[in-house]
Structures are given as C-alpha cells and as structure tokens.
Amino acid sequence: MLLVPKCIIDDLHSKMSRTWWTSNEKTRGWAMMKWERMCYPNGMEGMGFRDMKLFNLALLGRQVWRLMQFKDTLCFRVLSSKYFPEGDILCSKSCDKPSYTWSSIVKATEFFKEGFVWLVGDGNTIDIPRDQW
C-alpha cells in the first residue's frame, strides 16, 4: 500500500462529485453540497461517501499495525533489516534515499502516533533520552 498523492485524491473527489451531480460528463452540474459534507455519514446529514485521503491513511495504518504484530513475515524482515534494525517500527533510523513504500509507512506512522499509548511494562525497554515523557 502506498500513500496516494494529494493531486490524485483531489481528482478522484472531483470525478466522484461530478458523477453524482451531473447527468453526463460533458456538462458542469450544480453541486448541492460541499465534498466534505458529502463525506459525513448518513446519520449526520451527509451522503456517506468515503474521503479517499482518510481511507488511504487507514489502509496504511493497517500495514503499520501488521508490521507491529506479525514479525515473522517477509515484509517485516525486509523492511526491518534496512529501516528499523532494532525491530521497533516506531523507532526507525533515518535513511538517505528511502523507498516510496517506506516513506508512505513513515507518514502513516507519524499520523497515527498521536493515538498510540505507551506502556511501561517491566521497564527493560525504556530509553530515557529518546522516549517522550
């Protein structure tokens, strides 16, 4: 899974909105509702469309979760050997020319770090200078 560029997501949103509000592709329709409002669920006076940017981030977040949970996969072994040799995806080392796949995973990790919880456990994995207190 890769992070889709913003211009492509904007183009997809435009095409979805145009398809919804026009009868054919050649005429410009009159939008009855902003795209952000169309992405609200039906119960919140929206139309239930998916926001492609958030959906893309959710899929990348699932890949981050899989890298954290399943450490015996080929994907984990390949990525960890180059980008996070200690085995912790949240503590990756910086690299000069990372692959686009890894750059996408890092962006998703940064986005989801706000919702992560850090547990002390037995205290063996605490790194006082690096960990945020």
pLDDT at 49: 77
Give the number of other CB atoms < 10 A from CB of residue 113.
Answer: 11
Identify the residue whose tokens are 């005429």.
Answer: 27
Beta-carbon contacts of 118 under 8 Å, excluding residues fewer than 6 positions away, are 131, 132
pTM of the model: 0.69
Residue at 56: amino acid letter: N
Nearest CA to 107 out of 132, 125, 89 is that of 89
72: confidence class by pLDDT, cuts 50, 70, 90: very high
Identify the residue whose tokens are 């592709």.
Answer: 25
pLDDT at 74: 93
With a cut of 70, say whether residue 22 has pLDDT above it: no
Contact 126, 112 (CB under 8 A): no
